[in-house]
Chain A
Amino acid sequence: NAGVMQNPRHLVRRRGQEARLRCSPMKGHSHVYWYRQLPEEGLKFMVYLQKENIIDESGMPKERFSAEFPKEGPSILRIQQVVRGDSAAYFCASSPLGGWGNQPQHFGDGTRLSIL
């Protein structure tokens, strides 16, 4: 897991604040995926990005959530006006090539977001 870096590891926000989660993919990887995990559940896909492009955002709520992966710098998952229901672990994964299934995804250790 050391290759994909996520920060912060833990983030506490009050309702109505903004949360910014960062993900630096493994070296040489240009495809990034964001997932959300609630306690005792599997991961739920949110968004798939390539450098400067959103490939698939079908799992991301239309309101308050946005994601980007700029040409330079980490991928950012942004949650505006957070609510208690946003509390979860958010995982980022990266792969060297695009597509699904056949491309192994390497995961970071996640950001645990807690909303007070």
Chain B
Amino acid sequence: TQLLEQSPQFLSIQEGENLTVYCNSSSVFSSLQWYRQEPGEGPVLLVTVVTGGEVKKLKRLTFQFGDARKDSSLHITAAQPGDTGLYLCAGAVDQTGANNLFFGTGTRLTVIP
């Protein structure tokens, strides 16, 4: 069962534009992580958000955790070609008997110079 839906699945934009990637679920997560993955490599952790409503900034990237801890967004300002990659959200489910980290299907971002 896929608990995390990411949108859009593919995104191609010009350098300098802004973009937002969404990660939605009907489940509540105890925390949520965002990763970026480049071809032939493993995912690299960008941020972990744990509190509902939390906003974290990492240079031009802004991450927000929804108040109800069911969704998250990643906003990139003035995208650069180096931002190109697969962006994955992953949630830890706070559920008795479960101990899994669930990954979304990913958003593949291409920034055109």
Contacts and interface: CB of A to CB of B under 8 A. Distances in A.
Contacts of A91: 42-43
B43 A101 contact: no
Chain A binding site: helix, strand, loop or mixed by DSSP?
A: loop
Interface residues of B, number: 31
A107 B101 CA distance: 14
Interface residues of A, number: 27
Contacts of B50: 101-102
Contacts, number: 77
A113 B60 CA distance: 36
B48 A42 contact: no
Interface stretch (A12-20, A51-59, A62-70, A71-79): A51-59
Contacts of A56: 99-100
A102 B102 contact: no
A43 B43 contact: yes
B64 interface: no
A106 interface: yes
B92 interface: yes
B78 interface: no
Given A100-B92, A101-B32, A59 B43 contact: no
A104 B45 contact: yes
Contacts of B88: 42-43
Contacts of B29: 101
A93 B33 CA distance: 14
A1 B92 CA distance: 21
Nearest to A58: B100
6 contacts: A42-B90, A42-B104, A43-B43, A91-B42, A102-B31, A104-B48
